[in-house]
Amino acid sequence: MVAPERPGPGRARKRFGQHFLNDRGVIDRIADSIGARPGETLCEIGPGLGALSDRLGAGENELHLVEIDRDLVAMLRERYASQKEIHIHEQDALTLALRDIHPDGCVVLVGNLPYNISTALIIHLLSQRDKIDRMVFMVQKEVAQRLTAPPGGKDYGRLTVMVSRLFQTNQLFDVGPDAFTPPPKVWSSVVAFKPRPVALGPVVADDAFEALVRQAFSQRRKTLRNTLKGLCGESVIVEAGLDPGIRPEKVPV
């Protein structure tokens, strides 16, 4: 969701968690962080009024814009009508299937994610990691800290473990409220994601791993022995190379 320098027809809608980025320096830094190479397929989630899209679409890469706001979709279709390499998708990003964007290869994802769906969207994309080359997302700073937190800290939790198992994450830079219209009440951060060649930890199905992590962090102050009692026996915890007596927040991925 990024606002162009000139006024646009769209107004930020609270129900979509919209805050349009209007700082040209931040826009350039995000585009530079992506480092798009010739031939890559790009997908921007929440393009808003199109300023970041303008930067990303300036080259010859295929660019897919995923936007849920129908008024913004109409504006984007008119704005990019003459650019055949830019494709507009009126769609909830939480239903996005990357195979529909690029059936035969990987996608580079970028976006200023709506605050109200950022965590759910990142979790949604985990199962599609085989279709992802890399991602650069702007999220609430609080979410960025959870994504990149080391074991043992207050920010280390379910989201950290779920993402770190599959992606290397790097908190690139922070963005203040004044960079947006309307300004949010919190700071934001830009985070880079790169899929790991092989998932960390034991070989286990994604849904089973998610159930295990959800249960483990449901009671952070209790030990693994107690939090996982109804899900698996203590011997299973030991076989996984973990100490049943430690708390979930101390367990490295």
Query: What H or E segment, with its residue span, contains residue 32?
Result: helix 24-34
In a domain, 6, yes or no: no
Task: Report, as an integer, the average pLDDT of 176-203.
Answer: 92
| Residue 2, C-beta contacts closer than 8 angstroms, at least 6 positions apart | 20, 21, 22, 27, 47, 48, 49, 50, 51, 52, 53, 112
Same domain membership, residue 246 and residue 185: no
Cα distances from 225 to residues 161, 215, 241, in angstroms, run 18, 11, 13
Q: Report the percentage of the chain scoring pLDDT > 70.
A: 92
Same domain membership, residue 110 and residue 149: yes
Same domain membership, residue 47 and residue 120: yes
Task: Report, as an integer, the average pLDDT of 175-185.
Answer: 94
Same domain membership, residue 110 and residue 226: no
Question: 154, 172, 195: which is the final residue of a domain?
Answer: 195
Q: What is the pLDDT of residue 16?
A: 45
Look at residue 170 and tell me whether its pLDDT is greater than 90: yes
Q: What is the pLDDT of residue 11?
A: 52
What confidence tier does 1 reach under pLDDT thresholds 50, 70, 90? low
Same domain membership, residue 21 and residue 114: yes
Q: Which of 53-57, 161-165, 238-242 has the lowest mean pLDDT?
A: 238-242
Cα distances from 87 to residues 43, 61, 64, 68, 177, in angstroms, run 9, 11, 5, 14, 30
Q: What is the pLDDT of residue 229?
A: 81
In a domain, 132, yes or no: yes
Task: Report, as an integer, the average pLDDT of 131-143.
Answer: 98
What domain count does the chain have?
Answer: 2
Same domain membership, residue 187 and residue 65: yes
Same domain membership, residue 186 and residue 215: no
Average pLDDT, the chain: 89
In a domain, 7, yes or no: no
* 164-167 long-range Cβ contacts below 8 angstroms, 24+ apart: 164/200, 164/253, 165/196, 165/199, 165/200, 165/201, 165/209, 165/253, 166/126, 166/129, 166/195, 166/196, 166/199, 166/200, 167/126, 167/129, 167/135, 167/193, 167/194, 167/195, 167/196
In a domain, 109, yes or no: yes
In a domain, 25, yes or no: yes
Q: E strands within 31-143?
A: 41-45, 62-67, 86-90, 107-112, 132-140
For the domain that residue 57 is a member of, what is the CATH number? 3.40.50.150
β-strands 132-140, 188-195 pairing: antiparallel
In a domain, 134, yes or no: yes
Look at residue 3 and tell me whether its pLDDT is greater than 50: no
Residue from 24, 6, 181, 9 nearest 78 by CA: 9
For the domain that residue 230 is a member of, what is the CATH number? 1.10.8.100
The answer, as to whether pTM is greater than 0.85, is yes
- Residues 187 and 209: their CA atoms lie apart, in Å, by 31
What confidence tier does 125 reach under pLDDT thresholds 50, 70, 90? very high
Show the domain range for 221.
Answer: 206-250
Look at residue 39 and tell me whether its pLDDT is greater than 80: yes
Same domain membership, residue 99 and residue 60: yes
Q: Which of 25-39, 152-166, 233-247 has the lowest mean pLDDT?
A: 233-247
| CB 66, CB 96: distance < 8 Å | yes
- Residues 186 and 92: their CA atoms lie apart, in Å, by 24
What confidence tier does 218 reach under pLDDT thresholds 50, 70, 90? confident
In a domain, 23, yes or no: yes
Same domain membership, residue 237 and residue 159: no
Q: What is the pLDDT of residues 66-112, one digit of tens each?
A: 999 999 999 999 999 999 999 999 999 999 999 999 999 999 999 99
Same domain membership, residue 210 and residue 189: no
